[in-house]
Amino acid sequence: MTAISHRRPRGKAAFGGLAPTALLLIGAIYCLFPVFWVLIAATKSPAELFSTGTLAFGTGFLDNVTQLFAYRDGVFWLWAANTLIYAGGGALLSTAVSAVSGYALAKYRFPGRNLIFNLLIGGILVPAVVLAIPQYLLFSKIGLADSYWAVLLPQILHPYSIYLARIYAAAAIPDSLLEAGRIDGATEWRLMSRVAMPLMVPGMVTIFLFQFVAIWNNFLLPFIMLGDDGKFPLTVGLFTLLQSGANQPSLYNLILTGAFLSLVPLIALFLTMQRYWRTDLSSGAVK
């Protein structure tokens, strides 16, 4: 399962690799360029934004940040904190539910197992829009629309994560260990919490990361659910900022700085957790 961190064998041909390397580097530049550009743009004062060269750093970064944080009494902070609550809380709950479900599906034989698994997995194919509108209406009926719960709760169940957890549990938890535990008189609950879950931690980190990013990036659900901009996550907040600023170039520097700042935490997480990005999803093999 350390597929990504494999050391590649050093080929002898140093020159034969020029064209492939060049192609990959073009791909890398294409992917990095917009991020690099927004970093530059975020350093420019409103005047510099239109007057200086598009790839020259400006002098206004601190001013932009101060202005952004002051914008409408610091609503940007609120958006950032909300995003952290939605993504962090949602991903934690989602990982817990997925791990326990995956464990049950992988390690027990019981009537209805396939039916339950197929039903849960079938959820992958249901388009988000079919869910978002009725979810909103149902939440409004019980008075929970425009609340944190409305964004948090629907994102806990994640069929794909259950699928991953099942594969991971099947590979990472030896049956013999569970049998030994049972002979020693451990309860099923104890076996799950003390034996199975610790073994599943590496798989759970992967699931957590994917869920965290998915919820952080989600736009449709909070956009539909929330009306009060104090509860917005960054994605919806940035969208409203863009909407109000589209025809006001004076707001451009705030929008660009906001976009840049919203990227920083995710990119940092992304780079530090590099080795945990595993997508053996397709091969179905978690080793």
Partner 1 sequence: MKRSAPYLFLTPAIVLFTLFLAVPIGYTVYLAMLRTKVSGLGLGKGSRREVFVGFDNFAAAIADAELWNGWLRVLGYGTLVLVVMLGLALLFALLLDSARVRLARFSRIAIFLPYAVPGVAATLLWGFLYLPSLSPIREILDIDFLGASTVTYSMANVAVWGGVGFNMLVLYTTLRAIPRDLYEAARLDGASEFQIAIRVKIPILVPAIILTTVFSIIATIQVFTEPTTLRPLTNTISSTWSPLMKVYRDAFVTGDLYSAAATSIVIAGISLVLSFGFLRVVRNRAFGEG
> Which CB, 81 or 220, lies closer to partner 1?
220
Q: In 3-state terms, what secondary structure has residue 233?
A: coil
Residue 209: name the closest of 130, 284, 276 by CA: 276
> Which CB, 64 or 101, lies closer to partner 1?
101
CB-CB contact of 103 with 200 (8 Å): yes
Closest approach of Cβ 131 to partner 1, in Å? 5
Phi-psi map region of 228: left, alpha, beta (phi>0 left; psi -120 to 50 alpha): beta
CB-CB contact of 75 with 230 (8 Å): yes
> Which CB, 35 or 70, lies closer to partner 1?
35
Closest approach of Cβ 28 to partner 1, in Å? 4
Instruction: Tell me how far apart the alpha carbons of residues 255 and 262 are, in angstroms, rounded to a whole number.
Output: 10
Closest approach of Cβ 155 to partner 1, in Å? 9
Q: In 3-state terms, what secondary structure has residue 18?
A: helix
Closest approach of Cβ 74 to partner 1, in Å? 20
